[in-house]
């Protein structure tokens, strides 16, 4: 299949992932009941975690057969290291994923700013679901804690992707397994870093939020990429008998 076609599918999948995941965090995680002043109407951490998982699930089945459904630079790099993806296509995939995430984040900002009494500047100051550590961590977790969480959980994610897309794995379940894995990852790490495991997902909100979020963006490139490489190397060791050279669906 032509590279341009595959890049179009990657753009669409990454756009929906960021729109659905960060959109749920910005627009629906906290909904204040005007009558009681409570947040009973919001979807909370569980809802946001499910939103991220569901976006990957539906887009893996929707366009994964076209592009391989990476939607994530760390996954693309991990699959290159795991000999599941051609290195010459990695840069175009990563650039496409980042551009899609920026467009999706701008879309979320435009929607959020349309609420009565809201403004684009206020939404940006709220972080737009950007990732962070230290003062920008949802629960005040340190840089070290964030690094450990992002590296380990991205490694686990890549291991799952490579395992469920191997020749010996049950057919037809990759999208569901990967979507549920991403849900679990968010349930664990939203309090720590707001969950990245995806440098593109981190880049879109950080660029629009600016300030300290942009200053901390480096970590959400370094840690997921390191984790993706580690995960690929681990799977190459434990799954050495699996098929090599096939694209994985994420």
CATH number reported for the structural domain that contains residue 43 in this entry: 1.20.1080.10
Query: Is 236 exposed, middle or buried, given 0-12, 13-18 or 19+ CB atoms closer than 10 A?
Result: middle
In a domain, 248, yes or no: no
In a domain, 250, yes or no: no
With a cut of 90, say whether residue 42 has pLDDT above it: no
In a domain, 188, yes or no: yes
pLDDT of residue 122: 86
Per-residue pLDDT reduced to its tens digit, 188-239: 999 999 999 999 999 999 999 999 999 999 999 999 999 999 999 999 999 8
In a domain, 47, yes or no: yes
With a cut of 90, say whether residue 244 has pLDDT above it: no
In a domain, 8, yes or no: yes
The pairs formed by 179-183 with CB atoms below 8 angstroms and a separation of 24 or more are: 179/53, 179/54, 179/55, 179/56, 179/57, 179/58, 179/60, 180/53, 180/57, 181/53, 181/156, 181/157, 182/52, 182/53, 182/56, 182/157, 183/49, 183/50, 183/52, 183/53, 183/54
In a domain, 245, yes or no: no
Over 205-235, what HEC string results? HHHHHCHHHHHCCCHHHHHHHHHHHHHHHHH
pLDDT of residue 246: 47
Q: Tell me which residue range forms the domain holding 217.
A: 3-238
Average pLDDT over residues 119-134: 92
In a domain, 60, yes or no: yes
In a domain, 246, yes or no: no
Asked if 62 and 142 touch (Cβ cutoff 8 Å), the reply is no
Prediction pTM value: 0.93
Count the domains in the chain: 1
pLDDT of residue 37: 61
With a cut of 60, say whether residue 60 has pLDDT above it: yes
Per-residue pLDDT reduced to its tens digit, 90-102: 999 999 999 999 9
């Amino acid at each position: 299949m032509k590279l341009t076609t595959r890049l179009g599918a990657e753009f669409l999948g990454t756009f929906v992932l960021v729109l659905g995941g960060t959109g749920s965090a910005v627009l629906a995680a906290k909904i204040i009941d005007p009558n009681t002043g409570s947040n009973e109407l919001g979807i909370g951490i569980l809802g946001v975690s499910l939103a991220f998982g569901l976006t990957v699930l539906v887009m893996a089945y929707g366009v994964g057969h076209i592009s391989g459904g990476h939607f994530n630079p760390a996954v693309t790099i991990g699959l290159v290291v795991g000999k599941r993806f051609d290195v010459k296509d990695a840069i175009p995939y990563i650039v496409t994923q980042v551009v899609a995430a920026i467009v999706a984040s701008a879309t979320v900002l435009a929607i959020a700013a349309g609420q009565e009494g809201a403004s684009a500047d206020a939404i940006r100051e709220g972080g737009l679901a950007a990732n962070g550590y230290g003062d920008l961590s949802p629960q005040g977790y340190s840089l070290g804690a964030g690094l450990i969480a992002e590296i380990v959980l991205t490694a686990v994610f890549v291991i799952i992707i490579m395992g469920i897309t191997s020749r010996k794995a049950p057919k037809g379940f990759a999208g569901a397994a990967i979507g549920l894995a991403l849900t679990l990852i968010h349930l664990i790490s939203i309090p720590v870093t707001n969950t990245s495991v995806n440098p593109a997902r981190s880049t879109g909100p950080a660029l629009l939020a600016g300030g300290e979020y942009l200053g901390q963006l480096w970590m959400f490139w370094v840690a997921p990429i390191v984790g993706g490489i580690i995960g690929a190397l681990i799977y190459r060791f434990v799954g050495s008998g699996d098929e090599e050279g096939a694209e994985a669906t994420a």
